[in-house]
Amino acid sequence: MKGRGGPISLYVHIPFCELKCAYCDFNSYAGLEELMGPYVDAVCREAALWSQAMGRLAVRTLFFGGGTPSLLPIPLMERLLGALGKHFHFLPGCEVTLEANPGTVGLQYLKGLAMLGFNRLSLGVQSFQDDELQALDRLHTARQAEEAFGWAREAGFRSINLDLIYGLPEQPLERWQATLERAIDLGPDHLSLYALTVEEGTKLAYQVARGLVPPPDDDAQAEMLEWSLERMAAAGYEHYEISNWARPGHRCQHNLAYWECRPYLGLGAGAHSCLPAGDGWVRFWNVYSPRRYIEALAASAGPPADVVAGHVPLSMPQVAGGEVVDLDGAMSEFLIMGLRLSEGVSLEEFRRRFGRELLEAFAGPVTELSDLGLVEERDGRLRLTRRGLLLANEVFVRLL
């Protein structure tokens, strides 16, 4: 397979939280603040291992996710960024994003982030209704979210995303409309709008299973999405991915690397990576426990010889597991991820990457989905229709 060399995207996982939110199934932990220093040291060691194994890789995007990365004090953030700069080559114009919870940041902290080189901020607002925030176990208020946005602008951030969640149990359309209108009024450069899902092992799943709260209503969520599509377009936002809208020039370049199946490397507990391997790619993930992650890297004397020799990096000390994705799997993933984008999948790019014709490789399911009015081929691209957008999960299942 050709055309997958060049720069990577780099992800850093910060697993610390003040409180685990009701809906959250991410690798995050409350009450481990004493591990912040040792954890940062471990991430620095992991960065050094990759540098020793693969050289000083060029990086086009850097993304700090969590957890709540904004809980990390500025001195620790500075130490971590210094190590990353030593072991990776950050290209000019590199997008550098930090996820933050509104209640954890102040003006001076945000100014500190900007001085360290962060140029994009993603605020986990989720709702502008205080009772909804409480139901989700969010610790901030709507007013604090607005204050955090204002401070971010004052600190110099010119690219700010707001995360919002719709389709909460028994949430009427009017409540969601009020939240989105309040977000639009602030003037963010990017908005991520996510339908609430019930993930196994979360507090919300426990509540739904025991009848304490009703499950999200699929029809209500579809109605909210349809309204949001019209409202966001009227507000001048470009809908470029199923759940993401941006002002011109403000698409999230880091997330585009995932959707376009470009290589990325994840550092930190539970972080996932995907790198080229043969005709497909290798996907692997680190140990999830922050303590075990710290211990694994503390005991490491250097990268394994097989990794230095260019073999699949599953023997790295912090790696918990992985899988090699063959050509057929890579083609399927490329198609599914590409269909998340409003532009869809370029037939020419598919041919260039895989040496196959997309409409031949997936003739059966594409014909079936086209007959159902869920996908369309136009101007050399295969994309979801409006109906397909509303039934995207059904489309993706048929392409697996």
- Domain limit, last residue, from 244, 259, 274: 259
Cα Rg, the chain, nearest whole Å: 21
Please tell me whether residue 230 adopts helix, strand or coil conformation. Answer: helix
Site of tokens 């399911």: 365
What is the rounded CA–CA span in Å between residue 351 and residue 347? 6
Give me the amino acid identity at 276: P
Contact 40, 82 (CB under 8 A): no
Q: What are residue 384's DSSP bridge partners?
A: 375
Domain assignment present for residue 41? The answer is yes
Query: Are 31 and 148 members of one domain?
Result: yes
Q: What is the CATH number of the domain that holds 235?
A: 3.20.20.70
Q: Which residue in 120, 53, 80 sits closest to 275, CA to CA?
A: 53
Query: Are 255 and 353 members of one domain?
Result: no
Q: What are residue 376's DSSP bridge partners?
A: 383
Quote the pTM value: 0.95
- Domain limit, last residue, from 227, 259, 291: 259
Q: What is the pairing mode between strands 89-100 and 319-325?
A: unpaired
Domain assignment present for residue 138? The answer is yes
Q: What is the pLDDT of residue 184?
A: 99
Query: Are 71 and 219 members of one domain?
Result: yes
Domain assignment present for residue 287? The answer is no
- Domain limit, last residue, from 259, 286, 310: 259
Exposure of 324 in the CB half-sphere (CA atoms within 13 A)? 10
What is the rounded CA–CA span in Å between residue 203 and residue 330? 34
Q: Domain residues for 376?
A: 344-399
Query: Are 247 and 369 members of one domain?
Result: no
Q: What is the pLDDT of residue 3?
A: 34
What is the rounded CA–CA span in Å between residue 262 and residue 281? 10
Domain assignment present for residue 291? The answer is no
Q: What is the pLDDT of residue 1?
A: 33
Query: Are 35 and 164 members of one domain?
Result: yes
Which segments in the chain show pLDDT lower than 50?
A: 1-4
Contact 49, 18 (CB under 8 A): no
Q: Which residue in 119, 101, 136 sits closest to 14, CA to CA?
A: 101
Domain assignment present for residue 290? The answer is no
Q: How many structural domains are present in the chain?
A: 2
Say if residue 217 is exposed, middle or buried (CB neighbours under 10 Å; 0-12, 13-18, 19+): middle
What is the rounded CA–CA span in Å between residue 247 and residue 250? 5
Query: Are 248 and 368 members of one domain?
Result: no
Contact 275, 313 (CB under 8 A): yes
Domain assignment present for residue 145? The answer is yes
Domain assignment present for residue 300? The answer is no
Domain assignment present for residue 128? The answer is yes
Query: Are 12 and 160 members of one domain?
Result: yes
Q: What is the pLDDT of residue 304?
A: 81
Contact 152, 158 (CB under 8 A): no
Exposure of 35 in the CB half-sphere (CA atoms within 13 A)? 21
Q: 86 vs 5, 48, 52, 332, CA distance in Å?
A: 21, 8, 12, 36
Q: Which residue in 360, 336, 335 sits closest to 349, CA to CA?
A: 335
Say if residue 348 is exposed, middle or buried (CB neighbours under 10 Å; 0-12, 13-18, 19+): exposed
Query: Are 255 and 357 members of one domain?
Result: no
Q: 285 vs 304, 318, 344, CA distance in Å?
A: 17, 9, 28
Q: Which residue in 147, 150, 124, 148 sits closest to 137, CA to CA?
A: 124
Q: What is the CATH number of the domain that holds 395?
A: 1.10.10
Q: What is the pLDDT of residue 277?
A: 86
Please tell me whether residue 355 adopts helix, strand or coil conformation. Answer: coil
